Amino acid sequence: MNHPTPIDIGGVRFEWGARTYVMGILNVTPDSFSGDGLLDAAEVADRALRMVDAGADLLDIGAESTRPDHDPIDAEAEYLRLAAPLRAVRRAVEVPITVDTSKAEVAARAFEAGADALNDVHGLRSDPELAPLLARTGKPAVVMHNQRGRTFGGNLIADVRAGLKASMALAHGAGVPRDRLIVDPGFGFGWGPVQNLEMLRRLDDLRGLGRPVLLGTSRKSTIGHVLDRPEQERRWGTAATLALAVRSGVDIVRVHDVEEMTQVVRMADAVVRGWPPEA
């Protein structure tokens, strides 16, 4: 199988196909769906250090909730919430940091404060200034397909692929090289449990986009629906989705529980890709 060209993120080279990388989630919000939001910069930095020690390859920090019923905030409020924790995390760790935002103003200021890449749950489709910003700065980006507010065309993967192609076209039109993009199918963003489970079954169908794939299933409501468990009791369900994701060749998994999920990913990688890993 031909794998996408490696991407340098924050001075770290990510070799797609070599293994599945683990992204740790840092929420600096008071209304995180999983109840893990922190606002104190020192606490966020401490959590970041523990995540890296537990095996996180990169960290994703966001200051606005993306749950369906969240209260939107403007760019100034979002960055004020983000600034001190981001700087504290940047001082504390050397792994790459992505900023989880859909606002160009927030992303630009976050890049200046030490973020290495963008993670946009709207796939560059909500702020027309984001793609030009990426072109100017040369920063890589995760672009997600977000089904919220969109009409279902009858074929889940076709809709996801169309959305991701639209995001990639926006990036290309602004001058962002294709090989700076990572795609995310948007598990849980506008899909119900049955559709989310179908997405997991059909992850292989996204390989044709030719881009590395990131997946975020951690603690999400579909797991709660299947297992009848609250957010804090969804580790085992998350673990099952990650093992399946590794089997499907997913390149990055975005998780809350880094220590446990790193073990799941490494074990699944050993089965799927072989062990011991090549030097």
Catalytic residues: 220, 254
CA distances to 23, 174, 180 from 138, in Å: 21, 11, 8
**Which residues have CB under 8 Å from 222's CB, separation 6+?**
187, 188, 192, 193, 196, 197
Length of the chain: 279
Q: How far apart are CA 107 and CA 120, in angstroms?
A: 10
Nearest in space to 189 (alpha carbons), one of 213, 167, 211, 221: 221
Q: How far apart are CA 22 and CA 188, in angstroms?
A: 19
d(CA 81, CA 76): 9
For residue 22, give both structure tokens. Answer: 């683990």
In sequence order, the β-bridge partners of residue 60 are 25, 98
Task: Look at residue 54 and give its three-state secondary structure.
Answer: helix
